[in-house]
Chain A
Amino acid sequence: AQSVTQLDSQVPVFEEAPVELRCNYSSSVSVYLFWYVQYPNQGLQLLLKYLSGSTLVKGINGFEAEFNKSQTSFHLRKPSVHISDTAEYFCAVIPYSSASKIIFGSGTRLSIRP
């Protein structure tokens, strides 16, 4: 079975500060990795994904994530956040063996202070 752990349920940061949202996963098979963002009162939107190749993945809105196989982690980073980044962020995996069913973490609420 697979599981995704987002270590922080809430992360408050000041505007223009860097941020890292942590994600660890557990799986007996290889997985594809995703980060989704959910702005208030909206659905989830794909931020970035890791399928294969370079372990550093760049996404929309200046976000990037690094896949670390030995640590089974896929942390999300942004060097300088804006008020508009206020949202909930979900880490997710799709195991190779069940290519169509995604498993989500519980989410991290990012709040930006001016």
Chain B
Amino acid sequence: EVQLVESGGDLVQPGGSLRLSCAASGFSFSTYWMSWVRQAPGKGLEWVANINQDGSDRYYMDSVKGRFTVSRDNAKRSLYLQMNGLRADDTAVYYCATVGAIYQYYMAVWGKGSTVTVSS
């Protein structure tokens, strides 16, 4: 069974840092692009970042460029999101997801999410 489990969410002060992790199992992790998507409380979905199979290609939404870094460790079957300079509007549930196929960047399988709250 394909499974994604996020962790690392917490309450953090504005300007602080946090690292989210996503543990993958049940599929060949190293052969898939991966995504991070977030959802602010009571709001819609917002794509955050994508990373290709070996980490050499990464894409970000504009508002997180320079602050967030997506990475992966294929040996550990894990995806990460390093978040620096956190702001109140980064408060959201963060989901990791598998990308459907090469050049087909829909989110095929989702984790249950990890909650990040940015507040003083």
A, B: real partners:
no
Q: Which residues of A contact B (CB under 8 A)?
A: none
Q: Which residues of B contact A (CB under 8 A)?
A: none
